């Protein structure tokens, strides 16, 4: 086995990999950006090396810097986690050229599965049908109109190189075709550098069900079980579970065999996931993810295996070590992605910032994979996953109630999170009965009923700091919330109270700015200005695009008028409440 492994990643997944390595007696090497010099993954690793830079491109995607650390540290293998270099064949080849093992599939398999058109073709060759659609790029709006006529609307225009829920546009009628096509191409080119698009029928009520597979270098391949990831916003997953509810055993087996066939057809090795859409008893190939996925812990919980250890053994040339029939799945598991996002009104706005307090939940069947601890900062430059909360139960209902209990118990303060939205979802009848779909959260769930996000962001008492004190009345313990005037502090909560006061100050500055003073609600970087001084704008017109945590957010005018002043330029890093333009 390897003596030393470098983890080319950050956050919870770097921590996750470090933990398995430690249990196997493998030394771990962390890498870090300027902002992460004291991050949790750095604190836990045996050795850590600076990459420099703040953005992903300057740090975790800086091939030369990482290659230098590999040489300096003498690591024998690299675990790429997910995101960053995990599906990058240039990086995989560069480290292989150094004689270092890439803990993942061979570059050729990544390439076949790397774009959605070629992966559709590969799946079809293995006898697995894709979502009804075309397996070639489209260049002319008339092709989309013809497709709409043949298959009916809605039609999904998808970027061949898209990912992370980006690069897809849904067209509901012929008259939307031209604009949707242009916008899909523009978005794909901006985000992925390639603008090839293709077409699929947009299924109206599908579930996203994916199959975990493993293959070794000796030709063995198995499927471990499926995950249902249908609770999504912006086509991105929020809650996952295994097994998929209301999912017949014979279909599970067929899907597992289809996934293995797809893996074998592309010479796959190591952990992979074949994603499907499932509707009306039929499943359709969506894409293959050639890496360990965020939601792998729900599979670990039901099969009772450490998938990172299995990855390391396979990368070391060892066999899988068990047969398909040896795999037993027990009970049910859920995962909630605890993102730094403000879910108020179902908007799910990214909310980077300091975590003043993070208290993990505990108890039987509860696991927290966090990338942060109290007093760590969630930067706007990386993704917004603070932690993953996983619960296991002997059946779905026990796992669900355990998740609700754990979500009540976990404390994350300083930044809003999606926790209250997840509690709501877990209590919705459609979710309990598993009649939901990938479109359910955005189309059916009424977020106006959601508990407010965080007491630090509550309305009223502007300028006051909130704190909690304990009191006893007739021997019974009560928690009392107090609003202290600014500047006054109760020593017991000084650190967090100060940070809360800051959050409050930022929050109130946003609320109190005059109409026409266009402020940003979150930390982020200006990617585009949409207006010039002197332009006439209407309320709702886009003023700037702000990127925060890999998501683009439109900042719009709140009034009709003329742009008098623009205070920012593309590339500027902004804090919540910063004014970008004045409109009179
Ligand atoms: P990405 O690579 O961006 O994650 P995917 O192709 O995996 O894109 O799709 C992500 C999600 O988008 C799916 O889970 C599903 O919710 C939705 N989606 C994708 N294709 C379709 C389709 N043809 N019909 C309905 N929903 C779709």
Token pair, residue 57, equals 């491109």
* pLDDT, mean of residues 375-402: 97
Can you tell me the distance from the alpha carbon of 435 to that of 358, in angstroms, rounded to the nearest whole number? 34
Can you tell me the distance from the alpha carbon of 169 to that of 362, in angstroms, rounded to the nearest whole number? 41
Query: 139-170 burial by CB neighbour count: b if 16+ within 10 A, else e?
Result: eebebbbebbeebebebbbbbbbbbeebbbbb
Closest C-alpha among 511, 555, 512, 510 to residue 537:
555
CA dihedral of residues 260, 264, 265, 269 (deg, nearest 10): 120
* pLDDT, mean of residues 64-83: 97
Does residue 157's CB lie within 6 angstroms of at least one atom of ligand 1?
A: no
More confidently predicted of 573 and 294:
294
Give residue 207 CA to ligand 1 midpoint distance, Å.
Answer: 10
pLDDT score of 500 more than 80: no
What mean pLDDT is reported for the chain? 91
Token pair, residue 384, equals 């917004």
Is the backbone of residue 458 left (phi > 0), alpha (psi -120 to 50) or beta?
Answer: beta
**250: Cα separation from own chain's centroid:** 31
Give me the half-sphere count of Cα atoms (radius 13 Å) on the Cβ side of residue 407.
27
pLDDT score of 453 more than 80: no
pLDDT score of 278 more than 90: yes
Amino acid 547: pLDDT: 82
SS3 letters across 405-445: HHHHHCEEECCCCCHHHHHHHHHCHHHHCCCCCCCHHHHHC
Q: What is the pLDDT of residues 217-238, one digit of tens each?
A: 999 999 999 999 999 999 999 9
Amino acid 479: pLDDT: 76
User: Which class is domain 510-583?
Assistant: mainly beta
Atom of ligand 1 lying closest to residue 166 CA = 3
Handedness of CA 530, 536, 542, 545 (dihedral sign): positive
Can you tell me the distance from the alpha carbon of 484 to that of 466, in angstroms, rounded to the nearest whole number? 6
Common-topology check for domains 4-103 and 207-449: no
User: Which class is domain 132-201?
Assistant: alpha beta
More confidently predicted of 558 and 252:
252
Contact 528, 546 (CB under 8 A): no
Q: Which residues on neighbouring strands pair with residue 358, listed in sequence order?
A: 412
Domain boundaries, given as residue ranges, for the chain: 4-103, 132-201, 207-449, 510-583
- 492 confidence band (pLDDT: 50, 70, 90): very low
Token pair, residue 510, equals 């946003």
Can you tell me the distance from the alpha carbon of 184 to that of 194, in angstroms, rounded to the nearest whole number? 11
Can you tell me the distance from the alpha carbon of 447 to that of 116, in angstroms, rounded to the nearest whole number? 33
Amino acid 485: pLDDT: 65
Can you tell me the distance from the alpha carbon of 234 to that of 536, in angstroms, rounded to the nearest whole number? 31
* pLDDT, mean of residues 101-105: 98
Closest C-alpha among 428, 399, 380 to residue 336:
399
Does residue 187's CB lie within 6 angstroms of at least one atom of ligand 1?
A: no
Q: What is the pLDDT of residues 163-206, one digit of tens each?
A: 887 889 999 999 999 999 998 998 888 888 899 999 999 999 99
Contact 199, 184 (CB under 8 A): no
Token pair, residue 30, equals 């962390």
Q: Ligand 1 pocket test: pick from 131, 163, 165 the residue with the most ligand atoms within 8 Å of its Cβ.
A: 165
Domain 207-449 has CATH 3.40.50.300: no
Does residue 206's CB lie within 6 angstroms of at least one atom of ligand 1?
A: yes
Give residue 348 CA to ligand 1 midpoint distance, Å.
Answer: 19
Give residue 238 CA to ligand 1 midpoint distance, Å.
Answer: 14
Does residue 561's CB lie within 6 angstroms of at least one atom of ligand 1?
A: no
The pTM (predicted TM-score) of the whole model is 0.87
Domain 4-103 has CATH 3.40.50.20: yes
Q: What is the pLDDT of residues 464-478, one digit of tens each?
A: 556 677 777 877 777
Contact 13, 82 (CB under 8 A): yes
Cα angle value 236/240/242 (rounded, 5°): 145
Q: What is the pLDDT of residues 542-553, one digit of tens each?
A: 899 888 876 777
């Amino acid at each position: 086995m390897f003596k030393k492994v470098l983890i080319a990643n950050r956050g919870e997944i770097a921590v996750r990999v470090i933990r398995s390595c430690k249990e196997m007696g493998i030394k771990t090497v962390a890498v870090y950006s300027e902002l992460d010099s004291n991050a949790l993954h750095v604190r836990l690793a045996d050795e850590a090396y600076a990459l420099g830079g703040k953005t992903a491109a300057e740090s975790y995607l800086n091939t030369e810097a990482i290659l230098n650390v590999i040489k300096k540290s003498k690591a024998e293998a690299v675990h790429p986690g997910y995101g960053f270099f995990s599906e990058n064949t240039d990086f995989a080849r560069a480290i292989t050229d150094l004689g270092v093992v890439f803990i993942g599939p061979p570059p050729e398999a990544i390439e076949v599965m790397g774009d959605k058109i070629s992966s559709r073709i590969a799946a079809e060759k293995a006898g697995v049908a894709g979502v009804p659609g075309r397996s070639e790029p489209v260049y002319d709006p008339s092709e989309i109109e013809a497709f709409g006529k043949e298959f009916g609307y809605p039609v999904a225009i998808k970027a061949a190189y898209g990912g992370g829920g980006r690069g897809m546009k849904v067209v509901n009628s012929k008259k939307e075709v031209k604009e949707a096509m242009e916008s899909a191409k523009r978005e794909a080119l901006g985000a992925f550098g390639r603008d090839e698009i293709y077409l699929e029928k947009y299924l109206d009520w599908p579930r996203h069900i994916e199959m975990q597979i493993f293959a070794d270098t000796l030709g063995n391949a198995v499927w471990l079980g499926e995950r249902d990831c249908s609770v999504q916003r912006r086509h991105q997953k929020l809650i996952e579970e295994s097994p998929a509810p209301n999912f017949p055993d014979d279909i599970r087996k067929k899907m597992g065999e289809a996934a293995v066939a797809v893996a074998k057809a592309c010479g796959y090795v190591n952990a992979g996931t074949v994603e499907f859409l499932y509707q009306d008893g039929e499943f359709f190939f969506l894409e293959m993810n050639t890496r360990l996925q965020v939601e792998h812990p729900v599979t670990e919980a039901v099969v009772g295996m450490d998938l990172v250890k299995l990855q390391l053994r396979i990368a070391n040339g060892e066999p899988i070590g068990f047969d398909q029939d040896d795999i037993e799945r027990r009970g049910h598991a859920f995962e909630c992605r605890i993102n730094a996002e403000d879910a108020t009104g179902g908007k799910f706005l990214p909310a980077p910032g300091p975590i003043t307090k993070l208290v993990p939940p505990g108890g039987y069947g509860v696991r927290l994979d966090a990338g942060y601890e109290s007093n760590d900062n969630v930067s706007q430059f990386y993704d917004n996953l603070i932690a993953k909360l996983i619960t296991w139960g002997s059946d779905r209902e026990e796992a669900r109630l355990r998740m609700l209990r754990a979500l009540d118990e976990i404390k994350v303060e300083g930044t809003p999170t999606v926790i209250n939205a997840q509690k709501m979802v877990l209590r919705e009848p459609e979710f309990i009965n598993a009649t939901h779909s990938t479109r359910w959260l955005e189309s059916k769930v009424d977020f106006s009923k959601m508990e407010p996000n965080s007491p630090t962001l509550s309305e009223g008492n502007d300028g006051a700091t909130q704190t909690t004190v304990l009191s006893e009345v007739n021997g019974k313990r009560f928690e009392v919330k107090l609003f202290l005037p600014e500047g006054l502090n109760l020593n017991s909560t000084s650190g967090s109270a100060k940070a809360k006061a800051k959050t409050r100050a930022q929050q109130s500055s946003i609320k109190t700015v005059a109409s026409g003073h266009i402020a940003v609600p979150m930390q982020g970087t200006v990617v585009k200005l949409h207006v010039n001084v002197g332009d006439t704008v209407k309320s709702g017109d886009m003023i700037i695009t702000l990127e925060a945590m890999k998501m683009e957010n439109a900042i719009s005018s709140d009034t009709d008028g003329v742009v008098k002043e623009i205070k920012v330029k593309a590339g500027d890093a902004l804090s919540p409440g910063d004014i970008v333009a004045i409109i009179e």
